Chain A
Amino acid sequence: MSAETRKKLVQILLVEDNPGDVRLTREALRDDHTNHLTWTSDGVEALACLHREGKYADAPRPDLILLDLSLPRKDGREVLAEIKQDPELRRIPVVVITSSEAEKDIDKIYNLQANCFITKPLDLDRFVLVVKTAVGFWSGIVKLPLQ
C-alpha cells in the first residue's frame, strides 16, 4: 500500500484481546474498502502504538479508535483515560465496544469522555450492522477537527 492511498484511507485502531472479535470486526468491514485496520491486543500495546513507540514508529495516527474494556496488562478504562488526558490524542473519537452492559461501566466511560459506548450485540448480523454503522458515522458523517 503506497503512502498516498494509505493517507486517504480511514485509519482505525482496534484494541481487542479476543482474536475472534478482531476477525468478526474485519469481516464486518470487509466490503468497505475505505478503511485500514490496525490491531493491538492489550492496553500497553495500544498506547505504544498511539505514541508511535518502538515497532510502532511508523504507525499511522488513527482517525477512530475501537476500544474493548477488558484487556490484559492495561484495561480499556485506563487506556481511555490516558487518551483523553493527552492533548495530542484526545480529539480522536473513541468508540468503546464491549460485552459489558453494566451501568457503572457506562457511567464511568462517559465520565472519561468516551465518544460512545456500545454493547457487543450477541447476534452476528446485528454485530456487523453496529460495527459498520459506528465506523460509517465517525468516519463519514461527523465533522472532526483537523489534526
Chain B
Amino acid sequence: MSASEGASRTPARRTVERALEEKVAREEHQRVEASRKLLASIVESSEDAIVSRATEGHILSWNRGAEKMFGYSAEEAIGQPISMLVPPECASELGQIQERVAQGESVGRYETVRLAKDGRRIDVSLVVSPIFDAAGRITGASSIHRDITERKRAEEALARRAEELERSNTELEQFAFVASHDLQEPLRMVASYTQLLAQRYQGKLDADADEFIAFAVEGAQRMQKLIQDLLTYSRLGSRREEFKPTECGQALGRALQNLAASIEESGASITHGPLPTVVADGSQLTQLFQNLVSNAIKFGDQQPPRVHVSAERNGAEWTFAVQDDGIGIDPQYADRIFVIFQRLHPRNEYPGTGIGLAISKKIVERHGGRIWVESKAGEGSTFKFTIPTERSNHLA
C-alpha cells in the first residue's frame, strides 16, 4: 500500500521537478540571452570596428562600426578572409599578429594601416586578442580597430608645423648672422677710414670738420659694437656646444675670472651659496653668470657693490638668483630689459648696447628655463632664472 502510494506520488513529483528544472533552464537561458544581447548591442553600437575571425582567418562577425569604417556590409564580410583588410605593404605584420595570438597573447594598441572596400587606407590603432572555447582552446581572434586618421592627420600637421618653425627659426638666425657678418666688412672700411681721417687731419681742417669727423667715427664704432653683439646673439643658436653635467660653481668661477678687472675696479664683493651641477652648455652658463654679475656691478648704487649668487631647488627645477644692492629697476620695465638693444639709461651714464640680458634670456631659454627680475627702483635687483634638474629630450 505504502509502495503503491509511493509509486502514485512519484510521477507527479517528477512532473513538478521537471517543470521546475525547465523553468530554471528557461530563466537561465533568458538571462544568458539577455546578457548576450546586451553585449551584442554594445559591440554593435561601438564606433570602433570590432571583428572576430576563426583561426583559419575567415571573418565570423562584423559590427556596424566595421561596416562604417571599411565599407563592407556584414553579409559581404562574413566568411571572407581577414587579409582583405590588410594593404600589401603591411602583409607581413598579419602573420606576426597571428603567431602571437596563437600563443594566447594579445596585441595591444598597435598602430597600422588597413584597407577599406573602396581602396582608401585608414590609419588604425589595433587591439587583437585570442578567443577561447569552453575547453580553453584558441578558436580565433577578435580585433578592435580604432580609426586614428584624424589624430594622425593632426599629429602630422603638428610635426610639419614644428619642422617649419624650426626651419624658419634657423633661417632667421642664419639671416641675422650672414647679414651682420656681411655688413661688418663695409662698415670696417667706414670706421677705419674715418679714424684715419681723424688721425691725419685732426686740427688741420677747421673746427666743424673735426666735429663732423668725430661724430662719424663715433657712429661707425657704435655700429660695429651693435653688429658684433648681433653676431654674438645669433651665434648662440648656431654654435652649439654639447650639453653635459656642469658644475655651476665652476661656471661662476670662470665668469668672475673674466670679470676680474671690473670687480677690482669697482671693489665689488661677490659671494655665493651652494650651487648645484646642472646639465648645460658650459660656456653659455659661464656667459650667463658673467652677464648677470657684470650687470649687478655696472648698476651698483652703493660703493662697493655687493652681489650674492644662490640657488634653490623647486621640484623639477633649480631657481638661481643673482642679487645686488644697486639702483634697481622700475617694475614697469621688468620685461623690456630682456629685449635686444633695449636700454633704460642714456649711454653716457651706463655704457652698453643693451644686448647682455637678451643674450642671457636666450641662453636660459635654450636650457629650457625662464628668466625674470624682481626689483624696485632704488632697492636693488634680483635676477632669477630656472634650469630644469633633468634635461628634457626635445631641447637636445
Contacts and interface: CB of A to CB of B under 8 A. Distances in A.
Interface of A: 18, 20-21, 24, 27, 99, 120, 122-125, 127
Given A27-B196, A99-B184, A122 B189 contact: no
Contact of A122 (B193, B196, B199, B224): B224
Contacts of B181: 99
Given A122-B228, A124-B191, A99 B185 contact: yes
Contacts of A18: 185, 189
A124 B195 contact: yes
B188 interface: yes
Nearest to A100: B181
B228 A20 contact: no
Contacts of B196: 24, 27, 124
Contacts of B302: none
B192 interface: yes
Interface string B313-334: 0000000000000000000000
Nearest to B228: A122
Contacts of A24: 192, 196
Contacts of B185: 18, 99
Contacts of A122: 184, 188, 191, 224, 228
Q: 8 smallest A-B Cβ distances: which pairs?
A: A124-B195, A20-B189, A124-B192, A122-B224, A122-B188, A99-B185, A24-B192, A124-B196
Contact of A20 (B193, B195, B199, B224): B193
Residue of B181, B188, B189, B199 with most chain A CB atoms under a 10 A cut-off = B188
Nearest to A70: B185
B250 to A, nearest CB: 24
Contacts of B184: 99, 122
Contacts of B188: 99, 120, 122
Given A21-B189, A24-B196, 11 more contacts: A99-B184, A120-B188, A122-B184, A122-B224, A122-B228, A123-B195, A124-B191, A124-B192, A124-B196, A124-B199, A125-B195
Interface of B: 181, 184-185, 188-189, 191-193, 195-196, 199, 224, 228
A122 B189 CA distance: 9
A124 B189 CA distance: 9
Nearest to B224: A122
Nearest to B186: A20
Nearest to A99: B185
A99 B182 CA distance: 10
A35 to B, nearest CB: 20
Nearest to B199: A124
B80 to A, nearest CB: 62
A75 B361 CA distance: 39
A71 to B, nearest CB: 14
5 contacts: A20-B189, A20-B192, A99-B184, A99-B188, A124-B191
A24 B224 CA distance: 18
Contacts of A20: 189, 192-193
Contacts of A125: 195
Contacts of B228: 122
Contacts of A127: 192
A124 B193 CA distance: 8
A127 B181 CA distance: 18
Residue of A18, A120, A124 with most chain B CB atoms under a 10 A cut-off = A124
A21 B191 CA distance: 12
Contacts of A120: 188
A21 B189 CA distance: 8
A125 B181 CA distance: 21
A120 B228 CA distance: 14
A27 B228 CA distance: 25
Contacts of B192: 20, 24, 124, 127
A9 to B, nearest CB: 25
Nearest to B193: A20
A106 to B, nearest CB: 14
Nearest to A27: B196
Contacts of A99: 181, 184-185, 188
Contacts of B224: 122
B283 to A, nearest CB: 14
A124 B188 CA distance: 8
A40 B181 CA distance: 25
A24 B191 CA distance: 12
A123 B184 CA distance: 11
Contacts of B189: 18, 20-21
Contacts of A124: 191-192, 195-196, 199
Nearest to A20: B189
B264 to A, nearest CB: 24
Contacts of B195: 123-125
Contacts of B199: 124
A125 B195 CA distance: 9
A24 B195 CA distance: 11
A99 B228 CA distance: 13
A124 B191 CA distance: 8
